[in-house]
Homo-oligomer: A and B are copies of this chain.
Amino acid sequence: MKKQAKSNMVIAQSGGPSMVINASLCGAVTAAKGAKCIGKILGARHGILGILNSDYVDMRKIGAKKLDAIAHTPSSALGSCRRKPSAEDCRAIFENFKKLGVGYFFYIGGNDSADAARIVAEEAEKDGYPLVCWHIPKTIDNDLRSCDHTPGFGSAARFVACALKGDDLDNRALGGVKIDVIMGRDAGFLTAASALARVREDDGPHLIYLPEVPFSETKFVKDVKAAMKKYGRCVVAVSEGIRGKDGVPIGAKLGSGEKDSHGNVQMSGTGALGDALAKLLKEKAGVKRVRADTFGYLQRSFPGIASENDYYEAYDVGAAAVEIAMADKAKYGVTTGTVGIRRRKGKRYGVSFWSLPITEAAKIARSMPKEYIAANGHDVTQAFLDYARPIVGDLPECEIL
């Protein structure tokens, strides 16, 4: 009887990679290895595409040592995709699952991936296919409403803060204006994390522009002029998703216009926004030396600099997803959901995990709360710094003369 209750599991990764998404994969696989009712543990390559192509890795065959090495490796070891499953996709998925005896499905990713998992769960229910279907949160954008902060954000934010620390020192040496364009389509958390680079009163970034605050070219030029007057130099952190009063992203106006199947316009992997802002300052702010860097994909997959808290939380949330799914299944039968992340109250930093409806993570993204954005519209507040610091961890110390 117990043997018959065993069912196989599929796990996959989706959306943009992160430095710790493999930790979540390995946390979930390790927990699944210890779960009595899970048989085979199959990793689908490239998200749901791997299911559609029946392209699986037998995760039980991956030894503990290799699994640990994978957990510490950035990017998505199973490969990723940006496919929104159609009803037809879902039929094909359930056919494959049925053939392989799959009763558990875990999908690691951001809000689009949560939405994909929601679609799969809803279609499974419609079709009467008994599927335990869970979303495991991940996104460097930190924009899931279901999480105090998302696994992957802390490490990407650590890259951004380290980069700004170094870049501010570079700007001290050679002067002028330096613009750094940071990932974040709708939410400014990652760009805001640049503020963690500051230690001294005159440390950069001196100006921070978020997608949550309508961007005005006139104000930008004025802000830079004022910073140049005050500091004799200026470091600017700009989110790739900054948008004008009309709500249209400045970068999308300048970029390729390429869209993925979730309808998102491509913003990363092009230097257009940074170059346009640099040109604007040369022409309108009268600054001779203006340089712009677009951090691009480095901020999500750079090896060796992950935040320690982020790594462990990513591992734990993967394990928690499997444990919660098992417990809920035992109590309620087939279930679906996402794992929420709550920050523990009190002085000592820590998190706990809880079960939430999958819709809490799907589609609708979270923006920076108002209390994290400075009144001047080009900075963050102390509340944001207090929120972000334990997630990102200590940064390398730098000294100046």
Residues of A bordering B, CB below 8 Å: 13, 16-17, 19, 43, 46, 57, 62, 66, 69-70, 72-82, 162-163, 165-167, 169-170, 172-174, 178, 256, 268-272, 274-275, 278, 282, 290-298, 300-305, 395-401
Contact = CB atoms under 8 A, between A and B. Distances in A.
B399 A297 contact: no
Given A70-B399, A170-B17, A291 B272 contact: no
A294 to B, nearest CB: 6
A97 B342 CA distance: 63
B305 A305 contact: yes
Contacts of A66: 399
Contact of A292 (B269, B290, B291): B269
A302 B170 CA distance: 9
Nearest to A73: B398
A291 B269 contact: yes
Nearest to A57: B401
B300 A170 contact: yes
Given A74-B166, A294-B293, A401-B70, A174 B303 contact: no
Contacts of A269: 178, 278, 290-293
Of A69, A80, A167, A300, most B-chain CB atoms within 10 Å: A167
A69 B169 CA distance: 14
A268 B293 CA distance: 8
A43 to B, nearest CB: 7
Contact of A169 (B73, B167, B291, B398): B73
Contacts of A268: 291
A297 B303 contact: no
Given A17-B169, A303-B395, 16 more contacts: A17-B174, A57-B401, A69-B397, A69-B398, A75-B170, A75-B173, A162-B302, A162-B303, A169-B301, A268-B291, A269-B278, A270-B292, A293-B294, A293-B295, A294-B296, A303-B398
A297 B235 CA distance: 13
Nearest to A25: B401
Contacts of A76: 173
8 contacts: A17-B174, A69-B397, A73-B397, A73-B398, A77-B399, A77-B401, A80-B174, A272-B275
Contacts of A17: 169-170, 173-174
Contact of A400 (B73, B162, B173, B300): B73
A400 B268 CA distance: 25
**7 shortest interchain CB distances as A-B pairs:** A271-B271, A269-B291, A75-B169, A293-B296, A69-B399, A166-B301, A304-B396
A172 B399 contact: no
A291 B296 contact: yes
A185 to B, nearest CB: 15
Contacts of A13: 173
A16 B173 CA distance: 9
